[in-house]
Amino acid sequence: MAARKSVKKSKSVKKAAARKPAARTARRPGTTTKPKNSTQVAAAKVSKPAIAVKVADRAAAVESIMGESQSLHEFLSSSGW
Amino acid sequence: MLSQDERRLLVEQAILLIEALYVHLPLKRAMHAVDPEQRLKLLRHRLETLSEPAFHAELIAIFTSLRDLHTNYVLPEPFRNRTAYLPFRIAEYFHNDERRYVVTEVKPGAEDRAFKTGIELTHWNGVPIDRAVQNNADREAGSNSDARHARGLAAMTIRPLAVSLPPDEEWVVVTFKHGKQRREKRFEWRVFQSKPGGGNDPLAAAGELATVLGLDAKAELERQARKVLFSPESVVIARRARQQIADSSTAATAGEQLDFSKISQMPDVFAFRTVKTPSGQFGYIRIFTFLVLNDVAFVNEFIRIASLLPQKGLILDVRGNGGGNIIAGERLLQILTPHPIEAERFYFLSSPLTLRICNHNAEFGQWKQSIDQSVETGTDFSNGFSLRPPASYNDTGQRYQGPVVLLTDARCYSTTDIFSAGFQDHQIGKILGTSPRTGAGGANVWTHDFLRQSLPESDSPFKTLPAQASFRVAVRRSTRVGPRAGELVEDLGVTADFVHRPTRKDVLNNNVDLINRAAEILAQMPVHSLTGQLSSKQSLRTLTLKTRNITRVDILHNGRPDRSIDVADGVSRVDLPAHNLSEGVLELRGFRDDQLVVSHRIALGSGT
């Protein structure tokens, strides 16, 4: 089987290929882009609650705050349940 | 382990509370066809045949049968301060009227590539998830089906062992969707020692709070446990806020400071922000709990954060709030309306024991006469009175003038029910519920500890309980006011004006659809505003009014009418004789079409 000859694309061909997707979604003059439904607008606009404090290691922070835990089985066995 | 005598003491104290104090007993007998007295007497009769777990289980079951989240058996140590948990939280949302269940939080460190926030659960130990939640709900004490369902859902992953039975299963196997596949994962129930994460202990109210408590203690314990398990940031913020406020009072400041223009000084109680929605920009305040010691500080902090938000509309979110200090809830209403607040009436059961408590404690004196007369009148209940003098609910007046939408759900309970009822009865705004009704708890609850304090003499019927066991009991029931005067809150709850069932986006993306719906409602409500400022010039003082959407302003000085003027939007000026304005309060009442729509108070004295 003959080796396929590689064809080197010219710079202009590469530029056209790069432009193609953009050209497909380009807006026609006189039209506006509208989201499909109102919830898309909503998701974009409602701000998240501000978190003023960042905890670097959240897992360690939780363990530190809650202290030691034990399995339910261990707890009930030790408490005479 | 409890001795037989200790168990007997617990049952006898329970019988005393239910027979002689429990204010909802006639209602619960009628509405739920229950007979807790006979069950307690049977338990006393069969004590020796029961194991300790069976004893606790039956006592909890008797209290649960009342369908009253106020009235609980609090288990002794080591259960009292322990919480059992699974390392994730689930929430429900609706898709084409079908309930679906999604993981909304995973304990840091417990997540993996497949099991994470956003996955949908299909089965719980092999049982379809919706049925598993319903089975759990049937074991819960909520007084209507929505409330029971909400309680059942919460108990799927968190159980405060002070007031709940431990899970039967030591682990659960959950089935969940992972792409197009279904996967299973096993989780072990674990137990940790509960500590209020910056909040108050809901089982140990003391001082004045003990007499004005309206709280679902279990919901509050669950809320505090969720903070510890899933939100270490919240715990850190609460600690730092307390420290920062303490430091500021001693002029000591060190390290990075919290910005109280963005965070509440009571971060365990409030969160707030501005929300930008397709209907406009509005304020948003979440009240997590009413469980505060100081109702004045609570109301003042609300006023402070409300002033930082847009004034053309407020979304007030009390979903999941299990209540707390009834005075805090009822005093907050005045901030949102120009109309005077009429507080709910509270009634004791008429019994020799309630009469003895009222005789012994001056603060309950006004209930005494009607209980005493019940021997002749044959009424089951005392007359009804507000918990505080009427003036104390109107001592501050309106401070937020924009329209308000209140967000509720089936977990709103007690003080939150009472607040929501007051919001509706005073026509402050619209209620948007994620369920049709609130949780329906209408009473003031007292702990057994407080009852012992209320009758401390040696022949008191209230005895010291073993191993920190306790009881909570609804002692004063409440009724609504205004157009629904006399209607019970208990078992009926507050019906929302609009219902928005949560969407997937709501439970995973900060309630975005719910907030947008609330904003739509707000955008249709009129905005009125009225402010006034006094300035002095020789013997006259000039009152400069700024008004919007009102046509008349009535001016009252210390409650007495001074004058009435017609106004248009914008600025108006009125000259008043200075000698009349040395002290007291100048109240401005704004009207549109002869309806009172807004009010503003100016404190007189030095500097005004």
What's chain B's average pLDDT?
Answer: 94
Distance CA(B496)–CA(B488), nearest Å, equals: 16
Which of the residues B191, B263, B264, B305 would you substitute to probe the A interface, choosing the one with the greatest number of A C-beta atoms within 10 Å?
B191
Quick one: closest CA in A to B260, which residue?
A: A52
pLDDT at B255: 64
* Farthest CA pair distance, chain A: 82
pLDDT at B581: 76
Quick one: closest CA in A to B2, which residue?
A: A80
Of all helices (H) and strands (E), which one includes residue A50? Answer: none
pTM attached to this predicted model: 0.90
HSE-CB for B28 with a 13 A CA cutoff? 28
CB B331 within 8 A of CB B399: no
Distance CA(B48)–CA(B8), nearest Å, equals: 10
Distance CA(B276)–CA(A46), nearest Å, equals: 5
Residues of B (86-105) whose Cβ lies below 8 Å from A: none
Q: Do A53 and B197 touch (CB under 8 A)?
A: no
Quick one: closest CA in B to A53, which residue?
A: B233
Average pLDDT along chain B, 608 residues, taken 10 residues at a time: 95 98 95 95 95 94 94 94 96 95 96 93 98 91 87 95 93 95 96 73 86 96 94 91 84 74 96 98 98 97 98 98 98 98 98 96 96 90 96 97 98 97 98 96 96 94 95 97 95 96 97 98 98 86 96 95 96 86 91 97 75
Residues of B (191-220) whose Cβ lies below 8 Å from A: 191-193, 195, 197
Q: What's the Cα-to-Cα distance from B267 to each of A13, B235, B239, B240, B607, rounded to whole Å?
A: 60, 9, 9, 10, 33
Give the ranges where B433-548 is alpha helix by DSSP (H): 448-454, 504-508, 512-523
Q: Do A58 and B108 touch (CB under 8 A)?
A: yes
Q: Do A48 and B277 touch (CB under 8 A)?
A: no
pLDDT at B139: 83
CB B82 within 8 A of CB A78: no
pLDDT at B352: 96
Instruction: Provide the token pair at B227.
Output: 């903070």
Instruction: Provide the token pair at B272.
Output: 């707030």
* Nearest in space to B331 (alpha carbons), one of B215, B406, B414, B418: B418
Chain B residues touching residue A45 (CB < 8 angstroms): 276-278
pLDDT at B578: 76
Task: Please give the ipTM for the structure prediction.
Answer: 0.85
pLDDT at A25: 43
Backbone phi, then psi, for B142, in 5-degree steps?
A: -55, 145
In total, the C-beta contacts within 8 angstroms joining chain A to chain B are 118
Strands (E), B181-256: 181-188, 190-193, 213-215
Distance CA(B207)–CA(B449), nearest Å, equals: 11
Q: Do B82 and A75 touch (CB under 8 A)?
A: yes
Q: Do A66 and B509 touch (CB under 8 A)?
A: no
The answer to whether B62 contacts chain A (CB < 8 Å) is: no
Angle at the Cα of B387 (from B385 to B392), degrees rounded to 5? 110
Assess whether the previous peptide bond of B78 is cis (omega < 30° from 0).
yes
Nearest to A42 among B192, B236, B512 (CB): B512
Residues of B (500-539) whose Cβ lies below 8 Å from A: 505, 509-510, 512-513, 515-516
Nearest to B276 among A46, A63, A74 (CB): A46
Chain A residues touching residue B197 (CB < 8 angstroms): 65
Helix axes B36-45, B52-64, angle to 10 degrees: 170
Whose tokens are 């009926």? That residue is: B492
Q: Letter for the amino acid at B288?
A: F
Q: Do B233 and A67 touch (CB under 8 A)?
A: no
Chain A residues touching residue B515 (CB < 8 angstroms): 42, 46
CA distance B87 to chain A (A): 11
Average pLDDT along chain A, 81 residues, taken 10 residues at a time: 45 48 44 43 51 82 91 93 79
Distance CA(B276)–CA(B551), nearest Å, equals: 30
pLDDT at B252: 58
- Determine how many CB atoms are found less than 10 A away from the CB of residue B292: 22
HSE-CB for B247 with a 13 A CA cutoff? 14
* Nearest in space to B409 (alpha carbons), one of B511, B307, B487, B338: B511
Question: DSSP character for B385?
Answer: B
Q: Do A49 and B510 touch (CB under 8 A)?
A: yes
Distance CA(B476)–CA(B381), nearest Å, equals: 9
Instruction: Provide the token pair at B404.
Output: 């308000």
Residues of B (266-285) whose Cβ lies below 8 Å from A: 271, 273-278
* Nearest in space to B505 (alpha carbons), one of B17, B53, B100, B84: B100
Distance CA(B37)–CA(B195), nearest Å, equals: 34
Chain A residues touching residue B82 (CB < 8 angstroms): 75
pLDDT in tens, B169-210: 999 999 999 889 999 999 999 999 976 555 678 888 778 899
pLDDT at B520: 98
Q: Letter for the amino acid at B359?
A: N
pLDDT in tens, B226-259: 999 999 999 999 989 988 988 877 665 556 789 9
Q: What's the Cα-to-Cα distance from B412 to each of B112, B262, B515, rounded to whole Å?
A: 33, 26, 18
Whose tokens are 């191993």? That residue is: B467
Instruction: Provide the token pair at A72.
Output: 């339910």
Q: Do B233 and A63 touch (CB under 8 A)?
A: no
Instruction: Provide the token pair at B278.
Output: 């397709």
The answer to whether B257 contacts chain A (CB < 8 Å) is: no
Strand partners, B214: B324
pLDDT at B106: 97
Quick one: closest CA in B to A38, which residue?
A: B278
Strands (E), B110-212: 120-124, 127-128, 158-160, 171-178, 181-188, 190-193
Q: How many residues does chain A have?
A: 81
Chain B residues touching residue A78 (CB < 8 angstroms): 78
Instruction: Provide the token pair at B166.
Output: 């431990």
Chain A residues touching residue B107 (CB < 8 angstroms): 59, 62
